[in-house]
Structure 1
Amino acid sequence: MRASASNRQERRIHVSIASYNVHSCVGMDRRRKPARIAQVIREMNVDVLALQEVDNQPGDDVESMQLEYLSDVLEMAAVPGLRMIRRTGEYGNAILTRFPILAVRRHDLSFPLCEPRGAIDVHLDVYGRTVRVIAAHLGLRRRERRFQWQRVLEAVASEKDIPTCVLGDMNEWYRGAQTLKEAHAVFGEPPAPPAFPSFLPLLALTRIWVRPPEAIVAIEAHRSSLAKVASDHLPVRATIDVRRLGGVENVKRGAGLWALGSGQKEQRR
């Protein structure tokens, strides 16, 4: 009983948040296995997870309805991003969370003549404290990323007093890139472990920033043998000390929900 109480107390002090580009649940062996992705997520035991490249294809099986499947088997609430449509069906970003969802906003980051992109912006009730999470997947071209990052910074600046985490696949290959300089000016420069490609990680494309930065306890890539095969990216996980977040406590659930947009609703449990 004492150990159980101690574990519960630890969970209330430290929360974990991660970002994972699941590559449509297609692994390095070219097999599409959502169950394998779910097992990698279980290994991390995270409270909040930003997903990129989650497919929502026509059909009613596990392989096509990936977000619904992951939400169900992991028992986490799912917040889908804006509906992005390509020839093979719908795909995009999502957030999975164990915490109550207070508010949701979706930002269209699409750049002319480029693949559609978006960011998900949520308020979560983290043990009685409002925490903002913005999950994004930026584009492949430098001008595109600059445009998209400016939109993200504008969103961040709109609520300066709320503890905020920005995370996702930033697709930024160059350490000296302007987008990273601007991010570090706002959030500080946390660790950025290489996580791509998964079998021999050399590039830190996946990033996690937290404001205030002193709330970060650790950031690391999840390098299990299964994670090295399940996707072309490794997931990146951060541990955050809730006591260092500051912000407003004793929030009221459901207060001031933003417009959901795109005809979608977050799934709650």
Structure 2
Amino acid sequence: MQHAFRHSTHAHHHASTLLGHRLRVATYNIHKGVRGVGPGKRLEIHNLGLGIEALDADMVFLQEVRHFHHQEAREFKRTLQGWPDQGQADFLAPEGYEAAYRTNAVTRHGEHGNALLSRWPLGDIGHHDVSDHRFEQRGLLHVVVNWQEHQVHAVVAHLGLMHGSRVRQTRSLADYIEREIPPDALLLIAGDFNDWGERLDAPMREAGLERAQPPGGRRIATFPSRVPLFSLDRIYMRGMQCVGMHVPRGPAWARMSDHLPLVAELELA
């Protein structure tokens, strides 16, 4: 697995060294670090750590991140390659990065939520509950990131499975932005929007946010990871522009989660 990421890591490190005025942002639904069921169930959190480091992103927006889970900790013993002693956000943070995590959902054996990993210093960390009904616990993680001489407000989102819920959650997000984030602040909203029908761009534009897309406007699929067909994972922005975008592909990435990561190169607008 290390070999699969080695070239990517070197290339991205070289690019980020040359392009200091750019901000590389990634969003990734990590599926709680576990894949499969029954006898085929496997722990992918260690491979995810290698993959996230290889992205060499300045900021990584993560969804479905376990803080703890007693049952899976028993299934995957606490060994060197077993269940981590730390919460997954801290465990996945590459050396030198800071991590922020807040819980969205509390379940019988543990809890999970959103996280932000950043190579730039973090400021205030907040959480906003956008749960639409009792069967889905959803939230927004809001972190202020001190990027060079700028403050970037970063919001990690994971919206609901039903379209009506997503519309209401988008309205709640817009209200939160208006209430909590200065109107002239740089703003990034990234995560898994579960928007199968591609219907959320308009309400996001009404909230002052543009979707990051590669030059030419081609939308890049990230789900399902083995044969990606849908663009569920997205980055919306205010005060910035997208100058490049890609999705890492290959067997190593396909096995780690049901989503692929989405990576964007951003500049000030």
Residues 189-204 of structure 1 mapped to structure 2, 5 A cutoff: 189-191=211-213, 192-204=219-231
Q: Which of the residues 92, 102, 106 maps onto 1:70? A: 92
Q: Which of the residues 128, 131, 140 maps onto 1:119? A: 140
Unaligned runs of 5+ in 2: 1-13, 214-218
Is the 1:12–1:127 contact (alpha carbons within 8 Å) kept by the matching residues of 2?
no
Offset at residue 11 of structure 1 (A): 4.3
1:188 aligns with 2:188: no
CA distance in 2, matches of 1:166, 1:85: 23
- Residue of structure 2 equivalent to 1:255: none
Aligned length: 234
Shift in alpha-carbon separation, 1:227–1:8, aligned structure 2, 3 A: closer
Is the 2:25–2:57 contact (alpha carbons within 8 Å) kept by the matching residues of 1?
yes
Shift in alpha-carbon separation, 1:8–1:32, aligned structure 2, 3 A: closer
Task: Tell me which moved more, 108-117 or 90-99.
Answer: 108-117
CA distance in 1, matches of 2:149, 2:174: 26
Structure 1 ranges of 4+ moved more than 4 A: 6-9
CA distance in 1, matches of 2:185, 2:120: 16
Corresponding letter in the other structure for 2:106: I
Offset at residue 7 of structure 1 (A): 6.6
Identity of aligned pairs, percent?
26
TM score, norm. by length of structure 2: 0.80
CA distance in 2, matches of 1:150, 1:216: 24
Select the structure with the greater relative contact order (CA < 8 A; seq sep ≥ 6): 1
Residues 21-32 of structure 1 mapped to structure 2, 5 A cutoff: 21-27=29-35, 30-32=41-43
Shift in alpha-carbon separation, 1:147–1:45, aligned structure 2, 3 A: same
Once the two structures are superposed, what CA deviation does each residue of 1:219-243 show, in whole Å capped at 9, x if it has no partner? 22222431111111000011112xx
Give 1 or 2: higher strand fraction.
2
Offset at residue 69 of structure 1 (A): 1.4
- Residue of structure 2 equivalent to 1:260: none
Unaligned runs of 5+ in 1: 1-5, 246-269
